[in-house]
Amino acid sequence: MKNLAVVVMAAGMGTRMKSKTPKVLHPLLEKPLLWHVLQAVFALQPAKTVVVVGHQSEQVQARFTNQADFVVQSPQLGTGHAVQQARKVLGDHLDTVLVVPGDLPLLSGDTFRRMRDTFDPTLGPMLMLTVTRDNPQGFGRIVRDEAGFVSAIVEEADCTPEQKAIRELNVGAYIFNAQWLWQNLPRIPVSAKGEYYLTNLVGIAVSQGYRVQAVQVDNPAETLGVNTRAHLAQAESVLRQQVNQKWMEAGVTLVDPNTTYIGLDVTIGQDTVIYPNTYLLGQTTIGEDCEIGPNSYIIDSTVGNGCQVRFSVVEQAVMENNVDIGPFAHLRKGAHLAEGVHMGNFGEVKNAYLGPGTKMGHFSYLGDITTGKNVNIGAGTITCNYDGVKKNPTVIGDNAFIGSDTMLVAPVKIGNNARTGAGSVVTRDIPDDALAYGVPARVKSEKK
């Protein structure tokens, strides 16, 4: 099976999502449905992958440029018609085609591998994936012959009462001998609804004397189809549980996995404890021995070892080792807190480097600032960094002590070991070792 191609059927309207966004672009743990499907089929290292798109095809293609080939199906005349559209892109140099639906994002690479490894082209030209489960969710029913091979797939609408009771269902993923597929797709009859059902290929193969092979999905949860927002939430819940399970197995404590939301690109170090209602999203890395949450939201950030984040929001920021923030701290883009920084309640830091050991206990805003080490930021300190036109920088030297309620009117520099009195409005640079106070602040030794 050297030449395997994949066809993803994703042209359906997704009407029941009631959305302006194409169904396959709806996110599941931050990644579009179609991303999950492609990720799984790439496990087979296909020679080519074609996605059949229809509804809002430009948007779908734009999101996945360079990851697959696309073919537009218009009008959408059913799954058989969808696969036929892929032929012109695939050409004739393939021996096997895996066809998968675009709306079953939980099917795994392992399942597709098992399909490929089970498929025996000498028995017949096709193999299909089935699932046995109590909720048929509108899936086609599998009818088997005495020998156990599949003799038909009957769509729910066409079922007799006996067939309707069958609990082995068509998942909608198939492997075909390519040559046979292209020869027989045009033989599919048109349905009462005016559509060409791919499922009719079973009857066609059987009528030609072939055996139709089938493998069953190990884990029925993989076959959850997303047709509505409720299904989307269910699928996300399944995936979230898988991800959370993986981190617990890796030595991370999740106090309440049901309220812990961890993205697929996140990494977490050993013996870190995640408290309830916490989101770790995007390209986020959390070190070892941290305590994160409860009620925290961290995205696209790097957190070192031994850090604490309580009731806080961290976006595009860096926390080095042994930094603690919160409750109610907000690190924004470009905030970099060096080793041992403490940031207490109601603080905001943006585009800033806070040197090692710096303390900022209460109610402060630091933006566009660089501090040295062991700086004390008094309660209520504010960088007045914006003059109405542009952002201006503040620089604070090592061991400086900024008194409570100091306004640092940028651009401004505070020297090493310098101090400001409570309520100072600092409009001019303060030299090393000096004390400045008042409004506007003057250095103590200056003549009044």
On whether the CB atoms of residues 271 and 254 are closer than 8 A, the answer is no
Residue count at the site for ligand UD1 (CB under 6 A)?
28
Per the listing, tokens 């250095």 go with 443
Residue 130 or 385: the one with the smaller Cβ distance to ligand UD1 is 130
Please, is 67 exposed, middle or buried when counting C-beta atoms within 10 Å of its C-beta (0-12, 13-18, 19+)? middle
Angle (CA) 86 236 303, round 5°: 110
Which region, left, alpha or beta, applies to residue 179 given φ > 0 means left and ψ of -120 to 50 means alpha? alpha
- Min dist CB 238 to ligand UD1, Å, is 16
- Min dist CB 154 to ligand UD1, Å, is 8
On whether the CB atoms of residues 275 and 255 are closer than 8 A, the answer is yes
Reply yes or no on whether 55 is catalytic. no
C-alpha to C-alpha distance for 224 and 235, rounded to whole angstroms: 7
Q: Which partner from the list Ca ion, ligand UD1, none does 325 bind, CB cut-off 5 to 8 Å by kind?
A: none
Q: Which partner from the list Ca ion, ligand UD1, none does 198 bind, CB cut-off 5 to 8 Å by kind?
A: ligand UD1
Exactly one of 28, 46, 70, 103 binds ligand UD1 (CB under 6 A); that residue is 103
Q: Is 82 in the site for ligand UD1 (CB under 6 A)?
A: yes
Q: Is 247 in the site for ligand UD1 (CB under 6 A)?
A: no
Residue nearest to Ca ion (CB): 225
Per the listing, tokens 């050297």 go with 2
| Tokens representing residue 306 in the block | 């031994």
Q: Are strands 69-72 and 48-53 parallel, antiparallel or unpaired?
A: parallel
- Separation of CA 216 from chain center: 28
Q: Which of 26, 36, 55, 362 is catalytic?
A: 362
- Min dist CB 395 to ligand UD1, Å, is 57
| Tokens representing residue 44 in the block | 């087979």
Exactly one of 49, 57, 79, 406 binds ligand UD1 (CB under 6 A); that residue is 79
- Min dist CB 214 to ligand UD1, Å, is 13
Q: Which partner from the list ligand UD1, Ca ion, none does 105 bind, CB cut-off 5 to 8 Å by kind?
A: none
C-alpha to C-alpha distance for 211 and 33, rounded to whole angstroms: 33
Q: Write the binding mask 220 to 259 for Ca ion: x where contact by CB under 5 A, - elsewhere.
A: -----x----------------------------------
| Tokens representing residue 343 in the block | 């940031």
Residue 10 or 418: the one with the smaller Cβ distance to ligand UD1 is 10
Exactly one of 94, 106, 153, 377 binds ligand UD1 (CB under 6 A); that residue is 153
Q: Are strands 27-28 and 31-32 parallel, antiparallel or unpaired?
A: antiparallel
C-alpha to C-alpha distance for 190 and 53, rounded to whole angstroms: 21
Q: Pick from 104, 119, 124, 130: which is nearest to 44 by CA?
A: 119
Q: Is 198 in the site for ligand UD1 (CB under 6 A)?
A: yes
Exactly one of 60, 68, 70, 73 binds ligand UD1 (CB under 6 A); that residue is 73
Exactly one of 29, 52, 129, 366 binds ligand UD1 (CB under 6 A); that residue is 52
C-alpha to C-alpha distance for 76 and 164, rounded to whole angstroms: 27
Contact partners, residue 83, CB within 8 Å, separation at least 6 = 7, 9, 52, 97, 99, 181, 185, 198
96-104, 240-248, 253-261, 328-336 -> range binding ligand UD1 (CB under 6 A): 96-104
Residue 195 or 300: the one with the smaller Cβ distance to Ca ion is 195
Q: Which partner from the list Ca ion, ligand UD1, none does 205 bind, CB cut-off 5 to 8 Å by kind?
A: none
Q: Pick from 276, 275, 329: which is nearest to 301 by CA?
A: 329
Residue 9 or 434: the one with the smaller Cβ distance to Ca ion is 9
What residues are labeled active site? Answer: 362
Contact positions vs Ca ion (CB under 5 A): 225
Q: Which positions touch ligand UD1 (CB under 6 A)?
A: 9-12, 52, 73, 76-79, 81-82, 101-104, 139-140, 153, 155, 169-172, 197-199, 225
